[in-house]
Every structure is written in C-alpha cells, then in structure tokens.
Homo-oligomer: A and B are copies of this chain.
Amino acid sequence: MTLTSIDATALESGVRSYSRTWPTTFTKAQGSFMYNEEGDQYLDFFAGAGVMNYGHNNRHLKEVLIKYLAGDNVVHSLDMLTTARTDFLSTFTDQILRPRGLDHTVMFPGPGGANAVEAALKLARKVTGRESVVTFTNAFHGMTLGALSVTGNSMKRGGAGIPLVHATPMPYDDYFDGDVPDFMYLERLLNDAGSGLNTPAAVIVETVQGEGGVNTARREWLRQLSSLCKEQGIILIVDDIQMGCGRTGGFFSFEEAGIVPDIICLSKSISGYGLPLALTLLRPELDVWEPGEHNGTFRGFAPAFVTGAEAIRTYWSDDDLQRSTIAKGAFAESALNTIVADHPEHGLSAKGRGLARGLEFTNPDHAAATCRNAFEAGLLVETSGPRDEVIKLLPPLTLTNEELARGLDILRQATADAVA
C-alpha cells in the first residue's frame, strides 16, 4: 500500500471531522500520549472523547487483554453466558453498584453509548405508557434516531431528515445565569393541566454537558430534579456516558449530588481500553423487558468485559483515583482561571468539574485558533458548545501532575497567541 492517509480521505465520506482538525496520521499511543507516523508526540487532553480515562494502551489492561486473546477465549457471543461476562457482571455489581447503594440490574444494550440511550428511552416509554421526554438545552445523547431526538445541536438534528418529535427542551442549570428559579418553568408546566406539555415518560440529563460546552449542573439542581421526577412519577435517566467512569471524581458523576437515577447510561471508558461496550442500568422494578425485546449483535464483546473488569479491580478498589482526579481537577481549574485572568478584555471563563474542564471564549474563532496553536505545540484539545466556543479538556485521569501542568502551559500560550 503506497497510498498516504491524506489521499485515503478521498475514499471516505465527507462526514469525517476530527481528521480535519488534526491533519496528521496517528500510529502509536501510550498513556497520555499519541504519536504520528513521523514520530511526533502529542499530549492527549482529548482522550478519545472521554474513552481513554485510564490512558492509551494501559499496561494493566493490555496484559489481561492480550492474554485473553492469546488463549483463544470467546471473543464474540452476543448475550450467551461466558466466563468473561460473568466476571464483569459480578465485579461491576460487587465493586461499583452495591457499595454505592445501587440495586440496579445491568443491561447490555449494544456496543456504543447511543445504544444505551435508545434502550433507556424505549424502556421508560414502555414502563410508563407515555411517549414524551424532557431534555435540556445543549444536551448531547447520540446520533441514532431516538438519541438524536433528545439531542440539542441543530446541525446534528438536521441530519435526521425527518421532524424529531416527542422531546421538549427545558433550561439546563444556570441557563439564565441564575435569574430564574430552578425548574420554575418545568414544574409549572407539569402542574398546569392546561399547559400543553405532554406528561413525560422520562427526563434525560447529563450532570456535566461535555458536547454542550462543559456546562455543569449544581448538586442542588440535580437533587431538585430528582425530587421533581419522584413527585411526578417521571423516570430519571442520567446519561453518564462521558462523565461517568471517574471523569468528575467518583465513579458515577451523580454520586456527589446524592441522587439515585432510575436508569443510568454508561459507555466510553467502561471497558477502559477503547473497546466498544455500553451498559444501561435499571432499577429492578423497571426491568419489564421481554426476553429479546431489545437485542443487538455486539452487545457482549468479551474482550471489553475482560479489560472492563480489570479496570474496576485496578482503579476502583480504593479511592486513590477519585482523590487524585479531584486534586488534579482543582489544579486545572486554578490554571484555567489564570488563563482567564491573562485576558480580561476577552471575557474568557473557566468551567467544569473534576477532570472535565472547559475554557469558554466569547469569540469562537479564538477557540478554534487556540486548538490549532495547541496542536502545533503538541497538545490535542477539541472544542465543544453550540458555537464551538468552548475548549474542552478531557485528559486521561491517569496522567501525571507534570503532564497536566505541561498541557495547561501549552494551552496558556496557545490562548495568548490566539487572542493576540
């Protein structure tokens, strides 16, 4: 094969996007770094959109993965019972769910996050006999039709080619800068028999909106939302696909708020190694599926069970990772505040929680330029938000303090050059 990667893009649909932001061909990756074909090193504060929480080719997980594959163990088996599946199920239940007081059953809805969301929405509708879902401004839940209908981004919605219905957007926390009492509108509509709001089957929410611009919901907002759902008999779905698996500190991002969602969606870092896996966790009383009523070919990818179980044993047997993430998050927050303070005339702001951090620009061009500068200086960061105006930082949770500091230094300089 003599074709270059850039040439190969001609063979591919124009829908590709990251290869436009980072026009180089990556080949190796280890820990917090990726390397292109020329051997250039990139510090990765993107982490595969939150998939690589434990770093690329994590040594612990790599060992068990290769051993598993080398041993001719079952790779693919849908929802047949396998040793790997049983190990994952019991490890996840024993070390993650039960210690947190969660009695949820585990559903494997398919290989990706959108499958977890689709299954959650289907079940909420089936259980309640209602069809409408309350979403929040700037939500992102996926690209399949059900998941897309509860996603906010208008460009992505436009891709559906049909009217997206059955979802009503409500203001996310702080959407009005604190000028309006939380849930005033939603609560009023729910309690007014003449409001015209179809009583919803479910509310679906992210505790931190990654794609939406690293918007964080306060604990009390989440608690109020949970109470409201309980009072009204509405199923609360937390999409923890990007913010779970320790991204904000605790394994689940909602732990801090002390709430118990009815349904929880997980994916991205759940396998710990970039292997496709997704989970939909269900309060037992909601688990009214008939056998096979939802299925999917890649819903039991055994290598992902193997690395997923090992990741839990390695990182969630004690609270070291959680404490480290919170500490590094605080460090990052401080560094971002310094960048904000560097440029008072540009109205930047720092956002986020744990190691999900954002740097918001008033001018989206500055965000884009900062990304480009960072890339040239060897740092991978992407933008998010409805106008791509927020730089989103999702470094591996396992990065060293030195790597964190180095990345933030590059970002500081990249920002300075962008707004100059």
Q: Which residues of B contact A108 (CB under 8 A)?
A: 12
Q: Does residue A192 face the partner (Cβ distance < 8 Å to B)?
A: yes
A162 touching B166, Cβ below 8 Å: yes
B29 touching A72, Cβ below 8 Å: yes
* With A8-B86, A112-B111, A146-B144: A292-B17 Cβ-Cβ less than 8 Å: yes
Q: Which residues of B contact A1 (CB under 8 A)?
A: 86-87, 90-91, 94
**CB within 8 A of A144: which of B24, B56, B145, B386?**
B145
Considering the chains assembled together, what is the distance between the CA atoms of A11 and B106 in angstroms? 6
Interface size on A, residues (CB 8 A): 159
B75 touching A29, Cβ below 8 Å: yes
Copies of chain A in the complex: 4
Considering the chains assembled together, what is the distance between the CA atoms of A296 and B23 in angstroms? 19
B167 touching A166, Cβ below 8 Å: no
A296 touching B114, Cβ below 8 Å: yes
Q: Does residue A164 face the partner (Cβ distance < 8 Å to B)?
A: yes
Q: Which residues of B contact A330 (CB under 8 A)?
A: none
Q: Which residues of B contact A71 (CB under 8 A)?
A: 28
* With A159-B294, A298-B112: A24-B152 Cβ-Cβ less than 8 Å: no
Considering the chains assembled together, what is the distance between the CA atoms of A62 and B365 in angstroms? 46
A385 touching B17, Cβ below 8 Å: no
Considering the chains assembled together, what is the distance between the CA atoms of A291 and B385 in angstroms? 16
Considering the chains assembled together, what is the distance between the CA atoms of A83 and B386 in angstroms? 32
B26 touching A192, Cβ below 8 Å: no
- Nearest CB of B to A168, in Å: 6
Instruction: Enumerate the 8 nearest inter-chain pairs by beta-carbon distance, A residue then B residue, closest first.
Output: A125-B161, A76-B274, A194-B386, A145-B146, A152-B196, A169-B196, A15-B289, A13-B107
B78 touching A131, Cβ below 8 Å: no
Considering the chains assembled together, what is the distance between the CA atoms of A12 and B89 in angstroms? 8
Considering the chains assembled together, what is the distance between the CA atoms of A290 and B18 in angstroms? 13
Q: Which of A132-140, A348-356, A397-405 contacts B (4 or more CB under 8 A)?
A: A132-140
Give 24 A-B contacts (CB < 8 Å), ordered by A residue.
Answer: A8-B81, A8-B85, A11-B90, A18-B78, A22-B80, A26-B82, A29-B77, A76-B275, A111-B298, A112-B297, A114-B115, A114-B144, A131-B162, A152-B195, A154-B195, A155-B193, A155-B290, A155-B292, A156-B292, A157-B198, A169-B197, A193-B386, A194-B212, A268-B297
B74 touching A69, Cβ below 8 Å: no
